Amino acid sequence: MTAGRGALQAVVAAATLVPLSIASISLVRGPAWLGQAAPVATDLDSHFRYLSGIFLALGLGFASCIPAIERKGPRLRLLGGMVIAGGLGRLWSLTQVGAPSTGHLVGLCIELGLVPVVLVWQAVVARTTSSRT
């Protein structure tokens, strides 16, 4: 096992806590926990909780990559691509509507900063691991 592999697993594990915790809160509490005035439109609540369910599944997908992360490149790239696509949507919102709250800006940094780094890092770890066997 390379030091890079263990560090990558730790970073992915820590980063996975974000979608798992935020999605869980969002599913249970709906958009009200973000400070939306009650009552929230029924369709907005429905869509928010639907997307939160997808976000939870995304987090579980990332968690499933942690064991044997050096062999999970295709899955990690698919999940990472989904996160990057969401980040691009968030960036578009920022340019069209304005800056969101700090939490959403942190999300944007994770989506368009950390996730691409993790994808490249995983490819390096996979290549290093395969060259040793």
Residue of 88, 77, 89 whose CA lies nearest to 112: 88
pLDDT number for residue 5: 95
Per-residue pLDDT tens digits for 96-112? 999 999 999 999 999 99
Residue of 80, 90, 91 whose CA lies nearest to 115: 80
* Domain around 36: 3-132
> Which segments in the chain show pLDDT lower than 50?
1
Residue 120: C-alpha distances to residues 46, 47, 58, 76 (Å): 35, 32, 19, 10
What predicted TM-score, i.e. pTM, was given to this entire model?
0.90
pLDDT number for residue 132: 74
User: Is residue 88 within 8 Å of residue 116, measured between CB atoms?
Assistant: no
pLDDT number for residue 35: 84
Count how many domains the chain has. 1
